[in-house]
Amino acid sequence: MGHTLEFSRRVEQMSRQIHENRLAVCRPIRSIALVILFFPGVIAAASGQHENNTNDNSVYLFSYFTGVGKSGLHLAWSNDGLHWEALAGGKPLLSGNVGRRLMRDPYVVRGPDGIFYLLWTTHGLDRGFGLASSPDLINWSDQRYIPMMENVPGAKNCWAPEMVWDPHTDQWVIFWSSTIEGQFSETLSAGDNGWNHRIYRSLTRDFQSFTAPELFYNPGFNCIDATIVFDRTRFVMILKNETRHPPAKNLCVAFAERLLGPWSQPFAPFSPAGVWVEGPSVLRVGDWWYVYFDKYTLNQYGAMRTKDFRTFEDVSDQLVYPTGMRHGTAFAVPAEIFRKLKEHCDRLSQENPPQRANP
């Protein structure tokens, strides 16, 4: 009961914060830190965690990219989390125009303010990431390039950004993977030919000022592609062991009672043995959690499912997905949102070219 009352208070605080943040967008920037000028929201439901909450009126969507990311944002849909069909005949819905103009690893989440937020990798060598928002996945805001690691000495990149609202501290936690030259030399030789990543984070309450990037998670090896959900009792992080010598290239899981940690050491890998995978995304479907991943050396997608994040069942042979689908996000949307999106995509499938947001 105490936790219920606490979350109720936080819902009220979050609602006030949403209203204040909408007003704050017009205020002068108070920091030389990174800047975004669109309406912030809160990531998930009342408890603030990315639970992928669903009901009988939900439809599942999957954001993804193809090739190297030149075409932009693609979407697929499903009623069961296993059979996915491309929207718009496989055409992209949005193309990237910030950074070096790629759109890789598209991460989509809807806040309780009803706004969808899109973060993506703009290029493998860019030291920032892309950000845009939409009320309906059809009409998109101007894109922003967030130079998160530009001023970090030795930083080489900024990959696969995601973000989660922390209900305990009332702020966003944005996280991504980066290599910083000179850091973690003990694992450099086992890394990946000069790449030696860890998971970093930045915090913000108003999306105008950001804390300086800092280390978020160090599992003791080269790691990328972290994603986080809340399973009603704890936070769950799934990430890729990027070790190259000898090859790991698998997925493992860690747990924390609070989003900012401390996080447990990673448990044993659960992805298929001997298969190089990346880009995990997690979706709750009924009593199951589905973990999707890109079998990038095989040009295939895979999926495992679990109820406790300790034992996993491989359901890859049941998975149907669009040709060329790569690293993205599975998430649920209300049926009405999907209906309008589907109508838009059906029209788009007959048109050329895809929408390009304002630079």
Phi and psi at 16, nearest 5°, equal: -65, -40
pLDDT of residue 353: 56
Q: Specify if 294 maps to a domain.
A: yes
* Lowest model confidence (mean pLDDT) among 12-21, 65-74, 240-249, 299-308: 12-21
Tokens representing 207? Answer: 């999306």
Q: Specify if 359 maps to a domain.
A: no
Mean pLDDT of 328-336: 96
Per-residue pLDDT band at 55 (split at 50, 70, 90): low
pLDDT of residue 56: 61
pLDDT of residue 152: 98
Per-residue pLDDT band at 352 (split at 50, 70, 90): low
Where is pLDDT greater, at 16 or 339?
Answer: 339
* pLDDT at residue 226 is higher than 80: yes
Q: Specify if 353 maps to a domain.
A: no
Where is pLDDT greater, at 167 or 15?
Answer: 167
* Lowest model confidence (mean pLDDT) among 93-102, 106-115, 311-320, 350-359: 350-359
pLDDT tens for 124-165 read: 999 999 999 999 999 999 999 999 999 999 999 999 999 998
Q: Specify if 358 maps to a domain.
A: no
Per-residue pLDDT band at 322 (split at 50, 70, 90): very high
pLDDT tens for 79-137 read: 999 999 999 999 999 999 999 999 999 999 887 778 899 999 999 999 999 999 999 99
Give the helix/strand (H/E) hosting 181.
none
Q: Indicate the number of domains in the chain.
A: 1
Residues 70 and 91: beta-carbon distance below 8 Å: no
Residue type, position 96, single letter:
G
Q: Specify if 356 maps to a domain.
A: no
pLDDT of residue 165: 84
- DSSP β-bridge partners for residue 173: 164, 203
With b for 16 or more beta-carbon neighbours within 10 A and e for fewer, the 137-149 pattern comes to: bbebbebbbbbbb
Q: Specify if 354 maps to a domain.
A: no
Rounded to the nearest integer, the mean pLDDT of the chain is 86
Q: Specify if 355 maps to a domain.
A: no
Q: Specify if 233 maps to a domain.
A: yes
Count the residues in the chain: 359
* pLDDT at residue 43 is higher than 50: no
pTM score, two decimals? 0.85
Domain encompassing residue 282:
2-25+33-348
pLDDT of residue 233: 93
* Lowest model confidence (mean pLDDT) among 35-44, 50-59, 189-198, 296-305: 35-44
3-state secondary structure of 233: coil
Looking at residue 179, which CATH number applies to its domain?
Answer: 2.115.10.20
